[in-house]
Structure 1
Amino acid sequence: MAAVTAAQATATAGETIATDGAALPLIEDPAAVTPKDARELSRRFLGRLAVLEEGTHEHQYVRNTLIEMNLSLVRYASSRFRTRGDSVEDVVQVGTIGLIKAIDRFEVSREVEFTTFAVPYIVGEIKRFFRDTSWAVHVPRRLQEARVELAKATDELRSRLGRTPTTRELSELMSLSEEEVIEARKAANCYQSASLDAALTSESDSGDTVLADRLGEEDPSLELVDDFNSLAPLIASLDERDRRIIHMRFVEELTQAQIAARLDVSQMHVSRLISRIIKRLRKGLLEPGVA
């Protein structure tokens, strides 16, 4: 199918959703829009999505069009995991969930390119999928996470001490009991992994290639961990209603309309409340000691 440019989409499809003097093109086949033009059109569609009321026909059209136009981002991110052995379609479907979350959470006021914002969501969702499905034997999430921390602590102490660390040394660094460290070690045996030095061969490869050469870049979203830890006390300082609103919006992922129905207030009032709460949290992060 031939790609559709932004100009063609506007010229051939006509205009729709003409409110406040602004209009968007009616794109009959968003998936055929080229990645370059999808970026330009996404700016316009995201700006419109921010002011449309959730649940309306216009909101649904703009949101669905954004998803289909940006599926190339999902395919690009998914290609980094092509050596994992899972179905490409499964990985793309999982990545699409990340794309949808990015669209729903994007704020035009941030002045950040949508692609820059969306890729960590897509990659994060795919990595979560592999983390949850790559275990030979199912173990609790607590132990899955402990295995990762154990590996990091072991590498750090081995580098520092020049030898394999003891269970007691690991427990002190990880702030866990020795029993919990032993439990994490047992859980690690349930995970099937390949050596980073394992040779990869294919007809297209020239020379020796190892698994480490195929790994992706560092995930920039890991830098958000510190922000999450800093947010915890700020959220705890909110009153009960504000905490409930934050939980419904960002944990239960309810729409503003659904939150309004639960609180028996207008959607506009919910929008103002969320903006006020986020502004307070942002100020607390940027200006420590100011709540």
Structure 2
Amino acid sequence: MGTAIRTQQHPHDDAPDTAEDFARLATLSDGPERRALRDELVRLWLPMAERIAVRFRGRGESLEDLYQVAALGLVKAVDHFDPARGGAFEAYAVPTITGEIKRHFRDHMWTLHVPRRVQDLRNRVRRAVKELGQSSSGPQPTVAEIAAYAHLTEQEVRTGMEALECFSALSLEAEMPGTDGYALGDALGGPDPGFDTVVDREAVKPCLQALPERERTILYLRFFRGMTQSSIAEQLGISQMHVSRLLSGCFAHLREEILAESHGEAHEEVPAEAHAGAHAGVRTH
């Protein structure tokens, strides 16, 4: 049996009369004849699918890719259309193809994940701005004007306008407008080592306060006043070797205390002389 398909006058030149052929397709079992008829139906209705795809051009996707998505939607429409329901194929195919294209934009074109409701608001706001701009040569429409035209609240309009910037992302290497080679990435901060310093100081502060006064003084002079060991020894009236040994002892004691605290171990009892000097404190600035 051949697969010739009749055509008749229609408001759209790309809409052939294929009602009888869809009815015959439904009666055929899978095989060469059915596949040939199916392929011929897809070929004849392809101009309509491409007409629908053209409506979505200028939205960040190439027209060739839109044609492919529309063709996929057309194939699905041909495969799932049931002529026994009594409806025209075009009435079934148009929303099927349109939905396939919209799903493509929603799933593959948005750089940021945006809820479907917000995407719909974006589309309504974009369409309203475009139509208001065509009907007026004045300034850009206000939020209130867009809301009234699109039958939205002003908050919904603001949400849709924010989503206008979410369809694609700007590269961190892109030059910022009005700058001389200044990229967006240049404005991003990096890790601040000062935060680690704050954490370290807070962790060691109780241990420092528990040291004898002389050790606290030596640590203060060495690390907050920047004095050398020989200068400290001269000021305190002790030898430089003694200062070196005291510093090494302080380091070992502080390390042991901090490690014990981090592992949840109990601190060893602080010597009595440490209690006597604990209230003096150690300056940390």
Instruction: Give the alignment's TM-score, normalised by structure 2.
Output: 0.39
The higher radius of gyration belongs to 2
Pick the structure with more strand per residue: 1
